[in-house]
Structure 1
């Protein structure tokens, strides 16, 4: 019989206990007495009864239970209540030692007057029904019980013992789990159940399960890796699982089941009952199917870039080999040029002058050689790409045949072209029919695709695959079973849900939602600001800004930190004690208990092996990995560190742990000297990876040719890094910047945010306005950019070179 406990003994002790230090916000919210409260309290004659009656009322409101005379009352709460009554706080001792019947009479009167209810069987059923939707989203015991207590306070239901609440939450969680398992498995056929069982059965002669095979990483970008991804994708697709079940289960639950399927061994899954095992595998397979689609399309994009780069390098090598011949031709034509100049000055025959340097036959041949050398210096990237067609053919047949794409109407010719290629691959026909879609062929591809009224098969196919990549990037082309490349509408809220949010007023949109009204407000605001700037620039009163040759010139900011600070910083660091990193982490955990957030994926319990947890954290922080970290720590093993990493260290646990530390720093009085925690900035920091074959490694030419990833960090004005996310080195920062502002779990109330040029786009400006953030990016080459206005630029003579009228460049869809 499984235990019905969700909390640890320490959590159980503190769950219904008032904290020793009560915040001003908590006191004001729950313990400020109204005029009606005071009128009822004053009906007591004795001072101790007035105060005791008030204390009982305070406990009924928060934490939502009855008060026991034997427990200590927080001194700040007692003083706060006594001050409102203007009585002596010590008189509560007399009330606690007085008649028990008086206290029960007061409690009964409070329940009658304020409508507080005792916990009963009907309340149990009522709260069970309310808690089930939340339990379908999470099975975290603390979260469920805290939500339960909050709802009980709202419904004025007095809390029973904590063990009763645990049993209620445990039972609801069990029902939610069975409901999720049922939804995922109720439509499975017998054949599908047999195939799921085969997933966790050891295969021979490889001596591994199909589950292990499906979990294999994608590998480095190559045709062989692409074909392996497609093979795994087709295996899952052929199971014919219904993806519609995903819409009936909360995302958090699916994510948990998916992670369990990724981490659990086949032996562990076989220990579950059939329903739970099959549900876990279904969630894992449906999520893996989406990941495999994204991996395949990402690998196609990488291979296009890789082969284009290889073609460029081949051209560069050929150019290096031709460099000697180029220099010889330059020296030769310099001599010919001097001879011709001399012949003109002396009126000699030009042909004789040329033949004085070299024979005419040799001169004619050097001209032909020079034309060939000129051709080699001109880089035609498309021709280089077409030249590597054989390499693409190693995987593009599978790409076209496996995935079904959808698009906007403008991209239908491209999808038709993909169907043509699929048909050619099936029939083995090499010649492209004349009547094929070519509307997608852009100008740079046209000379290579259309040759002498025929269509070049190699160029046509590569053009289609290149445009497919571009369409996936822009969102004009999508694929249904994908997480990264699905249709834009799939990212949006369903219309019914959006309408409900609007009616409830919970859209959290901070602007005027009526479009004409909003546009008129922004038009007036822009007009006012432009007139102000026009006047300031004209009079030279705008600090550090001037116009020069119709360009905006901004004076660079002077260095804000004196050079002497560096020496002072070194002296300050020298004063700090030298401590071991594990000791430092344990000390920080004593201030801000962040280690408790690294919880087990299944049980939700904090990691019990703290030594292994600290080793795993340091191993990741120092980029050593579990193997080297185990070698560096006495008594530590690779298995212990790997187990903690697999089960207790996830994105959400890191986020919660980071929030714990940042919140502690934010509440420290010294942090206020740096800022108030309402502004922040973000930027990416690039880190090299071990090699080009590492999954996720990408090359960004801004940083050279070495592959790597970027750590995108949000930093508050109090120097707290409240959000860190690993992104591709080639990804633009802008969307990840918005994610950081929305999905951090700290107490920071960010209102204004700064970024560099890579952190802004026109769309991000609009999104930040919708979300209520002030956005101030540092835009590179701001002086060369135009500002769009509703008025004619002539309305602002000084700023006119910087302005452009909106009506001439009206955005589509407005």
Structure 2
């Protein structure tokens, strides 16, 4: 039934949710202008159509039945889009979580090989760093300790198993391409995304995937794929060699960026409720000019951007100076330089001990809630 939203988080469920959008859109009722109908009245009709049985709607008078179905189907197209995007967000999170768990298991399985290689290379490094061995004799000293083949095998093992990434998300998602192919073609066809100027690289990449999926002549080349969407953590996997594009990694990178952009409201869908353009309700043109003086007066703001930018600049400067003054005495924060870039590192603070009054408060909670809040109670 079209009224039933998806209840599972899986690639087939997302594909069904996208098919639901296409079924509603095939009725071609989105273009009907209902701007003159009050929102309260629309809400009443929608709630009625969602709760009553089909036979009740069929027994309505013709005009009331048409009005109820028209309002409900327009609302359904928006909520169906929201439902599909909600499943998409949950599915991408599920794939990332499952992939990360699998990555950790694989890493634990190969930890013994990595330790063996690291110990062998440590022995080689100790010989290299030994000041009593002349520079001309280092290679010969290494060969007397370990064979050259063992050193090459250890280097290959480290290159294969050691991770260079600060963010494990790309590695966790890399095995999910087969899963996303189950819904990606339909998603490219069913949902049209728009966005803010900052989302242009993502929208260009999404349009490129759409052209790849459509096929036709001339077929787009993966070498021409927009590159601005690829983040630093994905770059090594998407572009393994110069002039080469890993299309699976590129697709997963775009989907991950789309998930984050939807959460940040940088990307939106016109026919949606939860993911509509956040700027759509802003006053524009003459309506804004009429209300501007009252708005800035109520908010105690200036109508000119100059004073507001100067105030924000001053607040930012004060905040920076306050942080800079506190850096020498902050033991939980360190600034380190790596590869010419300054990195910020925060250490976890030690937990505070529970006070007697807090423990006494915990005992008054129901027993079912105590283990997760006050485990010692």
TM over 0.5: yes
CA deviations 1:274-330 (Å, max 9, x no partner) are: 222222222222112111112222322333333233332222111100122233345
Contact 2:193–2:203 under 8 Å retained in 1: yes
| 2:225 is equivalent to residue 463 of structure 1 | no
Distance in 2 (alpha carbons) for counterparts of 1:444 and 1:564: 47
Kindly indicate whether the alpha-carbon contact (under 8 Å) linking 1:319 and 1:376 is maintained by their aligned counterparts in 2: no
TM-score (norm 1): 0.35
Distance 1:299 1:337, change over 3 A: same
Q: Distance between the aligned counterparts of 2:244 and 2:255, measured in 1? A: 19
Q: Is the aligned partner of 1:216 residue 2:16?
A: no
Secondary structure at 1:219 match in 2 = coil
C-alpha offsets along residues 421-454 of structure 1, whole Å, 9 cap, x if unaligned? 2232222798725445444444444444444324
- Picking from 169, 190, 194, the partner of 1:406 is 194
Name which of 4, 12, 15 aligns with 1:227. 15
Per-residue CA deviation, residues 463-496 of structure 1 (Å, 9 max, x unaligned), is 3333333443344432210112222331224656
Deviations 1:680-732, CA, capped at 9 Å, x for gaps? xxxxxxxx9xxxxxxxxxxxxxx9xxxxxxxxxxxxxxxxxxxxxxxxxxxxx
Residue 96 of structure 2: aligned partner: 308
Output aligned runs, 1:323-402, within 5 Å.
323-330=111-118, 332=120, 344=132, 361-374=149-162, 381-402=169-190
Contiguous gaps of at least 5 residues in structure 2 = 332-351, 367-371
The aligned counterpart of 1:424 is 212
The CA deviation string for residues 754-802 of structure 1, in whole angstroms up to 9 with x for no partner, is xxxxxxxxxxxxxxxxxxxxxxxxxxxxxxxxxxxxxxxxxxxxxxxxx
2:278 to 469, 483, 488: 488
In structure 2, distance between residues paired with 1:367 and 1:287: 60
* Cα distance, 1:378 vs structure 2: 8.0
Match for residue 298 of structure 1 among 76, 82, 86: 86
Q: Please tell me whether the aligned partners of residues 343 and 350 of structure 1 are also in contact (alpha carbons under 8 angstroms).
A: no
3-state SS of the aligned residue for 2:279?
helix
The CA RMSD measured in Å over matched residues stands at: 4.6
Cα offset, 1:397, TM superposition: 0.7
- Stretches of structure 1 that go unaligned for 5 or more consecutive residues are 1-212, 538-546, 554-558, 574-621, 623-687, 689-702, 704-814
**Contact preservation (8 Å) 2:113, 2:157:** no
Would the aligned equivalents of 1:511 and 1:518 in 2 still touch at CA under 8 Å? no
Q: Give the alignment's TM-score, normalised by structure 2.
A: 0.69
Kept in 2: contact 1:431–1:457 (CA 8 A): no
| Pair 280,499 (structure 1): closer, same or farther in 2 beyond 3 Å | farther
Q: Distance in 2 between matches of 1:350 and 1:490?
A: 70
Deviations 1:503-548 (A, max 9, x none): 9x6x69633454249948x95xx89xx9xxx9xx9xxxxxxxxx75
Name the SS for the 2:280 alignment partner: helix
CA distance in 2, matches of 1:300, 1:340: 53
Pair 401,344 (structure 1): closer, same or farther in 2 beyond 3 Å: same
2:74 equivalent in structure 1: 286
Greater Cα radius of gyration, structure 1 or 2: 1
CA distance in 2 between counterparts of 1:355 and 1:552 reads 48
State the alpha-carbon separation in 1 of the partners of residues 238 and 216 from structure 2: 20
The count of aligned residue pairs is 332
Residue 293 of structure 1 contacts residue 482 of structure 1 at CA under 8 Å; is this kept in 2? yes
Q: Contact conserved, 1:326 with 1:373, CA < 8 A, in 2?
A: yes
- Write the distance in 1 (CA, Å) between the matches of 2:235 and 2:330: 40
1:254 is the counterpart of 2:42: yes
